Each structure stands twice: as C-alpha cells, then as structure tokens.
Chain A
Amino acid sequence: MHPAYSVIVFTTFSGAGYGLLVCLALFGMTGGIEAERWLGITGFTLALTMITGGLLSSALHLGHPERAWRALSQWRSSWLSREGVLALATYLPALLLATNWIVFEEIEGAGYLFAMMTIVFSVLTVISTGMIYASLRTIRAWFNPHTVRVYLSFSLWTGALWFNLLAHLFGVHTPWVGVFMVVAGVLALFFKRKYWIFIDTHPVWVPPESALGLEGAGPVRQIAPPNTQENYVQKEMGYRIARKHMYSLRRTAFFGYFLIPWGVALLTIESEPVLRYAGAFVAVFAGMVGALVERWLFFAEAKHTANLYYGAESS
C-alpha cells in the first residue's frame, strides 16, 4: 500500500496524544503522580494538540475536506466513521478532566468519572483506528488480530514517553511513571515482534489463479496489462518495498521506537536534572521517529489483492 504521509503522521501523533491522555487520567485519578497545575496545563494542551493536529492532517488528505463532517454519520457500519465519532467524543471528558485538574489540582468526585471516561474513550478511539485497517480482508498484513494490539501498544508507549518527559520537567516524577514506561515499552516491543513474525509467516492469502476464478487450469501469468501507464489502483495499492530495505528499516524502527528510548529513559531516570531532561527528551524524539518509521512500514509492507491482476504472485 502506498504510504500516505498524512495518514502516517495522523495515526502516530494522535496515537501518542491518546496515550498521553490515558497516562494523565490514570496517574491523576490513582494519585500515581501529583496533579500539579502546570503539568496539567502542559500535558493536556500537548495531548489535545497532537490529537487535533493529527485529525486535521488526516482531514487535509481528503478529496473534499469541507465535507469531512459527513464522516460522522455511518458509525453503524464503518470503523472510519466510528473513529471520527469517538475522537470527537473524547474531547468532552478530556476537557472536563483538564479543567478539574488545573482548577483544583486534585482528581476526586466527578473528576474520577471524567478520568475514567477519558481512558475509555481514548482506548476506544485507538482501537477504531486499528480496526479501520484490521477490518480490510483485502490486505493480509492488516487483516489479523495483531494490528489493533500494535496500534494500542504504540499509542500507550509513545504517550508514556511524553508523560515521562513532562513528569521530569515539572519535578513530579515518581517510580510508578518509570514502571509504567518500562511495561508499555515491553508491550510495544512484544506486539510489534508478534506482528512481524505473523506477516512473515503468512505471506500468501490469495493466489492469482483464484483472482481470475481459474483454479485448476494451471498457473496464471500476466502477458499484457490493461494500460500502458500506471493507473490509480497500481499507484495506491501497488507500492512495493525491496526486501533488503524492509529489514534495514525494521531495524531502524526497532532502535528508534524501542531500544533507544527505552534504554536512554531508564538509564537517566535517577540522574542529574539536566541529564534526566535530556534523556527523557531524546527518548521522546527517538520514540516518535521510530514510531513514524514503523507506521511507514505498516503501509509499505502491506500487499493488496488487487495487485494480483497486475502480475503479483500472491497477496
């Protein structure tokens, strides 16, 4: 599949934004971190900016951005529609929780409800994002249970990296933030490894013979394509990535999204303030770059069944 930068940026940044919201809500309501005013102001602003920026980025890649509101109507059948509805719905508890946090500097009473709702809606939104891809039977690399797990764990992990940075900056870091980060990182590593193992061991979905409905009549080989220049389907669905590039990019993604941020953030967690800030910042930067590379690969590695008509050997 053609890796569209708007969608890659959207899913990565809005994922991190929802992850950060979950961290704020979870730590705020459990007292895992002090509900300090400036942490609240910066944290919620950052999270909602990443989410809103991501939503705008994805709306801009539409053929008709001015009609984007129509995408909220088909939530009964469409995961894309559900994602839009849930993304908008999340603003309400998130803003209420932010107000509660910033005004009272503690989460109790109705605040618990806002925090719970923020967590639930954030998680449901990220699940919907994953399901947009995981529901497409046409793409073997996406139509599997690993896709949603990867989207969820990456959202939590990148959000935790941002949360770790903010906790250091506002001097309210607790060991629980570190524990949470370690676990989220391991989850992201684990689910992405499982994902890559799955797509490497399940490459064949549909053979070209079936695409023509001519199974049993011998192997099918393309002689002449229908058009001399690439058409829309070939450009959109026919993106191919060289195998050697794929593995080097997977390594890059692994270092970026997991090893560097996980290692640096952990090593510097108890060090001097400047080193702590620098470590947490490097961890966020590497984590986001790694997540972008991972998301790019998610598209580039995915093969669509329509390619079978244009000479692909399996899809």
Chain B
Amino acid sequence: MGSLKFRWEVVLYIIPALLLYGIFFVLPFAQTIFFSFTSWNFFGHPAFVGLANYARLFTDGVYMAGLYRIGLWAVLAIVFKVGIALVLASLLRGKLRGRGFFETAFFIPVVISSAAISLLFTLLYDKDAGLINEVLRGVGLGKLATSWLSNSHTALFAVIAVPIWHTIGYFFVILLAAMHGVSPDLYDAAKIDGARGFRLFRSITVPSIMPALQVCIVLAISGALKSFDYVFVMTRGGPGTATQVPATWMYQTIFGSLEFGYGTAIATSIFLIGLCATLATRKVMAPSSY
C-alpha cells in the first residue's frame, strides 16, 4: 500500500494483469471446480451429477493407490531430500576449504529441466546400457541388474529417487541461506557452555532455521502431490499402473478416456489435498516459526 492519492489512470496499470490472470487462471480454475460436479466428454453438454465424481474417487483403485504412492513419495522426499540437504548445509555452514566448489556442484541439477533429468535417468536405469547395472556387474552383483523402470517391484522407488536427486540442491541452498542468517553470537554462547558438533546442530541450528525447514517440508509435500513430469516421461504410470500417481491418472482420465468430469474431480482433489497438507504443516510447525 502506497501513499500517493489514487487517480483513475492508475487503473490502466492494473487492468492488463487483471485481464490475463482472469482469463487464463481464474476462469479455467473456476471451470475445473464447476466441471468436477458434472459428467462431460468434451463434445455435447455437461450433465450435473452432484458429488458422484468425488464418491467415485474413493472406489477408484488406481486413484487410491496413487494417493498412497504420493504419500510414500512425500515421506521419502522429506526424509531424504530435507534430511540430506540439512546435513550438507550444516557441514558447509562454517569455514571450510573448497566450500565454493561444493555449493556450486550441489546446485547444478536444480537448473536442469525435469524432462532432461527424466531422460538422463531413463538411460541410467537402462537394463543393458545403464550406469547402475554396469556398476552392479562391475562389482560382481550382476544378478541384481534389472530393468529398473519396467520392473514393477523397483519402478516406483526408481521414479521417486529421481526428483530427490534432482532437487536436494534447492533445499540445500534454502537451508544454507537460513543458517547464515543465524546470529554467530548464539553459537559462541553455546560453545562457551561447552556445546560442540551435534549438540550445536540440535540446539542452535535446527531451532533457528525452523521457518526455512517448514518451507522445505511444504515444498517436499506439494512437489510429491503434483508430480507429473518425472512419472510421465519415465514410465507413463507403468508398468501396468505400478507408478500411476493422481496427476498422471488425471491426464489419462481426461485425454485418454475423455472423462472431463471425473478428471477435473481428480484435479480438484490434488488442489484440496495440497491445501490441507500445507495448512496442516504450518499448523504443526507454527509455534516455533512465527
């Protein structure tokens, strides 16, 4: 909010953004919610069906399995992505030779597109030419070599590992910036009290960077929830439906079977679950962060 008196010409500075946002965000978003209460196949007229699409979600085995998978995905993302980033950031918090190199190296994958990363891992996971199987054969574990993305036992974990690898560096930088914001006096005081190493980490670092940790956890959860690119490029939800997640299932429902009504219900559910997860995380972590 500024201080200058409002003049009518100021409206001209607002209208272009309002038009763009209204037409290409508000309108399709409102339609998404509207169509989720209908049955529509793109042609013809939408028929109002009440909550039937939402009721169907609960009996749709693929959707429910997809929810379980992104739940697992979110948990693994929090444990590994936030966990590893936290360890790396706290190791590089202080003065250390070669710090610049490590910071640079860790962030490199973050600037690469998820499509390129997915293609890279498709090669890495390949049965014949993949690096992982080459290494396994090299150390005499050739028996374990498999086609990681098309083996239904390994596909889900193979997919989930990719975004974790891809964005650890992002969380690392967020947490490192937060750690640099902590007053060194706190550490000095704790050290006078005899605290060292892990004790400093637990009692000073972690509590001081709670807001940033909260951002990372929210991002890890919402990232898992809306995940589409990695799954779609690497497995398309397969083999069978072994790696199907809500976003790819929505794509399949809408563009595969032209069920816009049910598909938009899945879309709305992704939004609502994300909203609840974000609010819940904020609530749980609130006392120390605000």
Q: Do A and B bind each other?
A: no
List B residues at the A interface (Cβ < 8 Å).
none
